[in-house]
Amino acid sequence: METAELTAEPKAALDKETQALRCEALAFGHCLVGKPPSELEIQRYIAAQPILFPDAASPREERLLAYCRKHPAAVAYLDAAQGVLGPENLLRKKILAMTAILETTPQHSEHFLSRDYSRLQLLARLGWTGFRAVLRVLLGIPLLKIVGH
Amino acid sequence: MDTVDAIVVGSGAAGVNAAWPLVEAGLRVRMLDFGNKDRHYESLIAHKSWSELRRSDPHQHRYFVGDQLEGIPFGDVRVGAQLTPPRLFISEDCERFLPVDSSTFAVTESLAEGGLASGWGAGVFPFDDADLADAPINRQDLAPHYEAVAERIGVSGDQGDLQPFFGECSSMMPPLEIDSAGEQVFKRYQKRRDALRAAGFHLGKTRLAACSELHRGRGPHPHLDMDFWADAKRAVYRPRWTLEELKAFENFEYQDRRLVEHFNEVPGGVEVCVRNISNGQQERQRSRSLVMAAGALGSTRIVLRSLGMHDRPVPVLCNPYTYVPVLNTGMWGKPCKDRRHSLAQLTALSFSPGDRSRYTQAQLYSYRSLLLFKLIKESPLSRVDSMALLRLMQPLLGIIGIHHGDRPTPDKTLRLRAGGNGQDRLEIEYVQSKAEQAAQLADEKRVLACFRKLGCWPIKKISPGHGAAIHYAGSLPMGAESGEPGCDQDCRLNGTRSVYLADGCVFPSIPAKGLTFTIMANADRVGTGLARSLQSGALRAGVRE
């Protein structure tokens, strides 16, 4: 997904910070459920910021967030690497906030509610999900080293 | 203000059940309570199942996450993680009005109408003689009060393998339906029952303070899996149901927005000094007797202040607690019923082979209605991978909560310290001995080995810290020597004529079984005894029957 697509909303009226948060919401939402969140979900994400994250981001955290805003496809990799190397991080907290917002929205409920699978289906899905998770960590670590410095 | 027969401080599990026999005896009873309520979320939650709400309610984020996002946990694993946004009113205002200093003990108190039991897990675990060995009362003393309280609050359960440890309950309703995961574990237990019982492990459906049938206008439990969020059909017991019934009596008066500060005995009774929170005014109220039921820590604070016992150490107890996320392999590839309750599905008692008086209690919960994002937070994988993985694993996920008994030691103390600004503070020091820690580890190892045999494989053990069980007790124990802070076997406070204690503070030690139901039964016993004394005039003369 291109950055241009993510920032297609009316941006003239938005200040720089709100615009940045909007880009974050779009990037995180797309990473989590495979499509951009609705305007309402974006607004909830923006409204959550002063409550959940009242402190300013460190320069490193800001660099990571800026990279995610610019390259939404990198979100899952940076998140995976950060989960292994330093889980208490602003990027992961912000993605978790978006996760909570999406989980409690009826439109995305099916992404979070369990389904009945046969033993074989479950095994196959677990295998694939585990493989993907490990791959993301392996690819994410060098990317994090580059972006974080 | 006129003098009443009894003032009851607090509207929690102890307060309402101590008040009931007094009111029923026709005595004039006034309940003083801070009385915080949920005025925000209750009306938002429709009477629908959890999964239906998740799929259809556009406002669900308001109660699942909270308007101030208070349901998103960013800190370490918290005490009272089950206190969801609609339940957070339970601990509201406590930091301001009930300050506590401790680096070793996490405290959750309540200024809510209904007290801490507004978020009670509803487990009903009557004590036997061995559980009461350190107290000057026994099971027989409590038996009629267990029966009375069970009828009042509504109890469901079955006559399974736990029956010998919990005893008979004549008003017990059939058990609530257990969920698919609970069924799988229970089936495996029945296959291996003899071997497990021989190893000291006994499992059964949890006896719950929940109505499986219509009972006193409550229930039947609708199995919506919303028990952590709402009180559907009022099926699960909350003390406010009894408070509502009490309010229908003309001889009962409920005053909220009151914070009791201290009391003095005066000729003919007690004078209670109260702060009216609405206007900040001090009030003095008189009564022939006083029943303290402000929670173990709350009552102790008021008693120590009233007796001028600042800096005097008293014991403090709380069930040590560990919780263990598990994978229930019995659910591998099995369909899940949507109809379920969120409370403990199964309860186990696991006895130490060398010492049958030592045991742990474990309760098995299924993890669903507390939402995935709280688990995703704990995962080291990326959020999106954690989400996919946990969604697949969710039917297999369970939580085993393990409680241990607790006894007083010189390293578990509570003191009331005078504060610089005129507001005193509780100071709690709680350190377990190495022997206690080692015994608990051994007990946990044993109980988890039994659960493994039932297909429940531990993922990790989480110790949320001392105080996490929110089962406080032991600070003003029954049977304490006169002159010591404590009470006699009728729970009359030492050194007083007409002040009674009705909450957890009176138990000299606590077994692994949850305390709440026994607190209620003992409160009923205290109220019943006091009603007799007041009616016979014995208390007025300052003598006991």
Nearest-by-CA chain A residue for B57: A106
User: Nearest CA to B500 among B514, B484, B487, B482?
Assistant: B487
Query: Using 50, 70 and 90 to split pLDDT, how confident is the model at B419?
Result: confident
Nearest-by-CA chain A residue for B386: A133
- On whether the CB atoms of residues B456 and B364 are closer than 8 A, the answer is yes
**Whole-angstrom Cα distance, residue A122 to residue B333?**
7
Q: What is the pLDDT of residues B52-67, one digit of tens each?
A: 999 999 999 999 999 9
Query: Using 50, 70 and 90 to split pLDDT, how confident is the model at A149?
Result: confident
Quote the number of domains for chain B.
1
Nearest-Cα distance to chain B for A12, in Å, is 29
**Whole-angstrom Cα distance, residue B365 to residue B352?**
23
Exposure class string for B198-221: b at 16+ Cβ within 10 A, else e: ebbbbbbbbbbbbbbeebeebbbb
Q: What is the ipTM of this complex?
A: 0.92
Which helix H or strand E contains B138, and what residues bound it? none
Please tell me whether residue A45 adopts helix, strand or coil conformation: helix
DSSP state of B169: -
Our measurement of the distance from residue B164's CA atom to the centroid of its chain's CA atoms, rounded to an integer in Å, reads: 23
**Exposed (0-12), middle (13-18) or buried (19+): which is A88, by Cβ within 10 Å?**
exposed
Over 50: is that where the pLDDT of A111 sits?
Answer: yes
Which helix H or strand E contains B285, and what residues bound it? strand B282-292
The verdict on residue B545 lying in a domain is: no
Beta-carbon neighbour count of residue B484 at 10 Å?
A: 14
Sign of CA dihedral B530, B533, B539, B540: positive
The verdict on residue B542 lying in a domain is: no
What are the structure tokens assigned to B365, written together?
């919960």
Please tell me whether residue B437 adopts helix, strand or coil conformation: helix
pLDDT at B355: 81
The verdict on residue B10 lying in a domain is: yes
Query: Using 50, 70 and 90 to split pLDDT, how confident is the model at A11?
Result: low
What are the structure tokens assigned to B299, written together?
């009552």
Nearest-by-CA chain B residue for A97: B72
**With an 8 Å Cβ cutoff, are A126 and B389 in contact?**
yes
Q: What is the pLDDT of residues B287-298, one digit of tens each?
A: 999 999 999 999
The verdict on residue B51 lying in a domain is: yes
The verdict on residue B443 lying in a domain is: yes
Length of chain A: 149
Average pLDDT in the B21-35 region? 98
Q: What is the pLDDT of residues B316-342, one digit of tens each?
A: 999 999 999 999 999 999 989 999 999
Put simply, whether B51 touches A (Cβ < 8 Å) is yes
What are the structure tokens assigned to A31, written together?
């990473």
**With an 8 Å Cβ cutoff, are A106 and B54 in contact?**
yes
Containing domain of residue B188, as a range? Answer: 4-536
Q: Which residue has the higher pLDDT, B541 or B66?
A: B66
Q: What is the pLDDT of residues A115-131, one digit of tens each?
A: 999 999 999 999 999 99
The verdict on residue B243 lying in a domain is: yes
Average pLDDT in the B522-540 region? 91
Q: Which residues pair with B30 in a beta bridge?
A: B7, B253
Among the residue ranges A8-17, A78-87, A138-147, B517-526, the one predicted with the least confidence is A8-17
pLDDT at B540: 53
Q: Map B192-254 to HEC letters.
A: CHHHHHHCCEEEEECCECECCCCECCECCCCCECCCCCCCHHHCECCHHHHHHHHHCCCCEEE
Q: What is the pLDDT of residues B394-415, one digit of tens each?
A: 999 999 999 999 999 999 999 9
The verdict on residue B544 lying in a domain is: no
**Whole-angstrom Cα distance, residue B545 to residue B538?**
6
Which residue among A52, A111, A114 sits closest to B72, beta carbon to beta carbon?
A52
Query: Using 50, 70 and 90 to split pLDDT, how confident is the model at B22?
Result: very high
Strands B314-315 and B412-417: antiparallel
Put simply, whether B69 touches A (Cβ < 8 Å) is yes
Over 70: is that where the pLDDT of B299 sits?
Answer: yes
DSSP secondary structure of A109-120 = GGGTS-----HH
Query: Using 50, 70 and 90 to split pLDDT, how confident is the model at B1?
Result: low
Over 90: is that where the pLDDT of B74 sits?
Answer: no
Put simply, whether B382 touches A (Cβ < 8 Å) is yes
**With an 8 Å Cβ cutoff, are B385 and A48 in contact?**
no
Strands B100-101 and B425-430: parallel
- On whether the CB atoms of residues B291 and B526 are closer than 8 A, the answer is yes
pLDDT at A1: 42
pLDDT at B422: 74
**With an 8 Å Cβ cutoff, are A32 and B385 in contact?**
no
The verdict on residue B543 lying in a domain is: no
Q: What residues of B are in contact with residue A105 (Cβ under 8 Å)?
A: 58, 60-61
Q: Is the peptide bond before B220 cis (omega within 30 degrees of 0)?
A: yes
**With an 8 Å Cβ cutoff, are A126 and B384 in contact?**
no
Over 90: is that where the pLDDT of B538 sits?
Answer: no
- On whether the CB atoms of residues B237 and B209 are closer than 8 A, the answer is yes
Average pLDDT, chain B: 95
Which residue among B71, B368, B381 sits closest to A133, beta carbon to beta carbon?
B381
Which residue among A52, A80, A111 sits closest to B381, beta carbon to beta carbon?
A80
Average pLDDT in the B39-54 region? 95
What are the structure tokens assigned to A11, written together?
């941006």
Q: What residues of A are in contact with residue B333 (Cβ under 8 Å)?
A: 117-122
- On whether the CB atoms of residues B30 and B8 are closer than 8 A, the answer is yes
User: Nearest CA to B146 among B545, B528, B536?
Assistant: B528
Nearest-by-CA chain A residue for B76: A88
> What's the number of CA atoms in the CB half-sphere (13 Å) around residue B245?
17
The CA-based dihedral angle spanning residues A7, A9, A14, A18, taken in that order and rounded to the nearest 10 degrees: -50
**Whole-angstrom Cα distance, residue B218 to residue B153?**
10
Nearest-by-CA chain B residue for A48: B69
**With an 8 Å Cβ cutoff, are A95 and B383 in contact?**
yes
Put simply, whether B357 touches A (Cβ < 8 Å) is no
Q: In what order do the strands lie in the sheet with B456-458?
A: B201-205, B346-351, B359-366, B397-404, B321-328, B456-458
**Whole-angstrom Cα distance, residue A64 to residue A82?**
10
Nearest-by-CA chain B residue for A45: B69
Query: Using 50, 70 and 90 to split pLDDT, how confident is the model at B542?
Result: very low
Nearest-Cα distance to chain B for A57, in Å, is 16
pLDDT at B451: 98
Can you give the CATH number for the domain in which B229 is found?
A: 3.50.50.60
Q: What is the pLDDT of residues B137-151, one digit of tens each?
A: 999 999 999 999 999
Residues in B 187-226 with any Cβ partner in A closer than 8 A: none
